[in-house]
Amino acid sequence: MKLFIKYRNLILLFSVLCCGFVFISCDQKEQNTKETSAEPTQEVSQEITAVPDDGKEKEEDNVASTTEDNAYYENYTKTGVLASIKDVYKDKFHIGVALAKHDIENKIKANFVASQFSSITCENEMKADFTLDHAATLKKGDEEFPVVNMKNAVVALNFAKENDIKMRAHTLVWHSQTPRWLFTEGFDKSEDAPFVTREVMLARMENYIKQEMEYVNTNYEGVVYAWDVVNEAIEIGDGHKDGIRIKNNYWYEIIGDDYIEQAFTFARKYADKNQKLFYNDYGTYEKSKLFAICELVNKLKEKGIIDGVGLQDHIQIDYPTTLDYQYAINKYSELGLEIQITELDIACPEDTEEAQEKLATRYRTIFSILLNCLNKGNANITSVTVWGLSDDRSWINKPDQPSYPLLFDKNLKPKRAFFGALLDPSVKKY
């Protein structure tokens, strides 16, 4: 007892210190548990992460990590050597660009395209307005045989073949940029000419698809790897029970509900074995449209006549949200088909440094999502195409409503957006 009294103060001090230690370590443990349990499982994080997983740790799987080697912007500003986006992504997916005939006829542009892209798409020259030859059709005089003439597309096809670049063929069956005479009796061009019957129209559809595919595959074997067989066939606002576009859509008006299936059936019949058949659309992240597309594509998949979904991705800086964008990619991936981003551009009405930096971040976000989905094996993304080579050539850049949505400026100088698409460390993350 005497001893206790003697050392009372020392014992007290020791007890206080021990309690403190136990308290601190418990608190620490709780903190750790909180951190661990807050970490979502991979599947859950796929569903719920609004911000793409492009943290340093996760980015390790991506081609463009934050290492010195991949400081593309710094390297470019110091040495003037520009990275090639197709090379950066060569083990991931094709990097494509939409081109007009005159882009390719310009030697400087053509060489630049060959150095940056592994895939091209004709911006217009493979659309029915450009491939159907009215005079030749009348001359042939066969009610079931619209004549195809690919003279507008040969510049692109030759360029692709000579430079070992692959091509997306865009597009066979579409309500737009297709002449009305394709649907009328006697291929009559007058405004009120009556339409042919379903039977005649199906025969025309088959002959049209057959000619185009046979021409391409005979003369340019191995060049086209993907066909947009049907474009923009879902329009929820039109009120069809399955969401099929019914207004101003002569294919639908004459053939009926199964026109999409018919087109894919013919396309499968005439496509080369290794060519992939795509359904392509815009606004693919809008929920009701997304579900209608998935339903349509599932039916085509059951019949074995489709290989992939093309997401146009004409998007904006803040629309759709990354959450909706990621959700859509996950949903389309669940179909078990290929996914291609077919017409990427991001509207940006200003050319200021600040606006363009935001655009760069948005490109970074989109490419991060695509890479993360691909790297985790969640999505079979095989191609990403930007819709135009340079801002001055963008279809959304109009004199009364300018937009600067692409990777290169009018002098083919890389914009900050280019480095965003490379996930360059100099571009701010989301």
343 catalytically annotated: yes
Query: Which token pair is 96?
Result: 């494509």
CB of 28 to ligand XIL, least distance (A): 56
Closer CB to ligand XIL, residue 343 or residue 391?
343
CB of 114 to ligand XIL, least distance (A): 21
Pick the catalytic residue from 343, 350, 353, 354. Answer: 343
What's the full length of the chain, in residues? 430
Torsional class of 292: left (φ above 0), alpha (ψ -120 to 50), beta (otherwise): alpha
Contacts of 50 (CB under 8 A, 6+ apart): 321, 322, 323, 326
Q: How many residues bind ligand XIL (CB under 6 A)?
A: 7
Is 284 near ligand XIL (CB under 6 A)?
no
According to CB under 6 A, which residues from 65 to 104 bind ligand XIL?
none
Helical residues (DSSP H) of 39-166, grouped into ranges: 42-48, 56-59, 72-79, 85-88, 101-105, 107-116, 128-131, 134-140, 154-163
CB of 59 to ligand XIL, least distance (A): 32
Closer CB to ligand XIL, residue 278 or residue 282?
282
Q: Which position among 116, 184, 275, 312 is part of the footprint of ligand XIL (CB under 6 A)?
A: 312
CB of 410 to ligand XIL, least distance (A): 17
Pick the catalytic residue from 232, 253, 302, 353. Answer: 232
Q: From 144, 132, 223, 226, select the one nearest 180 (Cα to Cα).
A: 132
253 catalytically annotated: no
Q: Which position among 131, 231, 265, 340 is part of the footprint of ligand XIL (CB under 6 A)?
A: 231
According to CB under 6 A, which residues from 369 to 398 bind ligand XIL?
395
Report the SS3 class of residue 141. coil
Closer CB to ligand XIL, residue 83 or residue 396?
396
Residue 281 pairs in a beta bridge with 311
> Degrees (nearest 5) of the Cα angle 404, 408, 414?
125
According to CB under 6 A, which residues from 116 to 175 bind ligand XIL?
123-124
Torsional class of 62: left (φ above 0), alpha (ψ -120 to 50), beta (otherwise): beta
CB of 108 to ligand XIL, least distance (A): 21
- How far is 134 from 154, CA to CA, in rounded Å? 19
Binding site for ligand XIL (CB under 6 A): 123-124, 231, 282, 312, 343, 395
Please identify every residue annotated as catalytic: 232, 343
